[in-house]
Chain A
Amino acid sequence: EVQLVESGGGLVQPGGSLRLSCAASGFAFINSEMNWVRQAPGKGLEWISYVSSTGSLIYYADSVKGRFTISRDNAKNSLHLQMNGLRAEDTAVYFCGRALVAQVIDNWGQGTLVIVSS
């Protein structure tokens, strides 16, 4: 069974940093493209980042470019999102997702809540 478990969310002050992690199991992580998608409270879905299976190809949404960094550790079956310079508008539930193909996400974690507030 495919499992994705996010961690690392919490309350952080504006300008602060957080590192989210996503532990993957039940599938060949090393062969899988991965994404991060977020959802602000009561709002819709926003894709924020993609990484290819080898980590050689990375994309970001403009809203996080230069502040967030996606990475993966294929030896540890884990995906990460380093978030710096956090803003109030980054408050959201952050989901990691395995791509069926490209950025079509066929398996999602349960999400981790990030709150940016003073």
Chain B
Amino acid sequence: EIVLTQSPGTLSLSPGERATLSCRASQSVIGNYLAWYQQKPGQAPRLLIYGTSSRATGIPDRFSGSGSGTDFTLTISRLETEDFAVYYCQQYGSSPPITFGQGTRLEIK
């Protein structure tokens, strides 16, 4: 089973700043099949990125994904207030099982 470790656990930034979230896999993610989700309190997750760098439908271009192998990054170029949430990475190249990272909480500084 591939273990995904996200860092940092909590990221404190201000609106307008750039956010860089990391997801490291315990072994290479096949096909770079890595997705990112955003979740706000009391809501279901929302798909942001799949296939490492493809934005899901309706996702603003301030969200971008990159990486390969075991190291992946979600970048939010200029934070808006609605971006403050918890972010999860997910690998789906070696399934089952699909695995999620433990999450990064992005909070307003």
Say whether A associates with B.
yes
Binding site for B on A (CB under 8 A): 35, 37, 44-47, 50, 59-62, 95, 100-106, 108-111
B56 A106 Cβ-Cβ under 8 A: yes
A100 B56 Cβ-Cβ under 8 A: yes
Closest beta carbon of chain B to A100's beta carbon, Å: 6
Closest beta carbon of chain A to B23's beta carbon, Å: 13
Say whether, besides A100-B56, A103-B92, A110 and B100 are in contact (CB < 8 Å): no
19 A-B pairs besides A44-B101, A105-B47 with CB distance below 8 A are: A35-B98, A44-B100, A45-B88, A45-B90, A45-B103, A46-B100, A47-B100, A61-B97, A62-B97, A95-B44, A101-B50, A102-B33, A103-B90, A103-B92, A103-B95, A104-B33, A104-B90, A106-B56, A108-B45
A108 B50 Cβ-Cβ under 8 A: no
Instruction: Please classify the interface of chain B as helix (H, G, I), strand (E, B), loop, or mixed, using the class held by over half of its residues.
Output: loop
Binding site for A on B (CB under 8 A): 33, 35, 37, 39, 44-47, 50, 56-57, 88, 90, 92, 95-103
A111 B44 Cβ-Cβ under 8 A: yes
Which residue from chain A places its CB closest to the CB of B44 in the assembled complex? A108
B44 A109 Cβ-Cβ under 8 A: yes
Residue pairs across A and B with Cβ atoms less than 8 A apart, 22 shown, are A44-B100, A44-B101, A44-B103, A45-B37, A45-B100, A45-B103, A47-B100, A50-B96, A59-B96, A59-B97, A61-B96, A62-B97, A95-B44, A95-B45, A100-B47, A100-B50, A104-B35, A105-B47, A106-B56, A108-B45, A108-B46, A110-B44
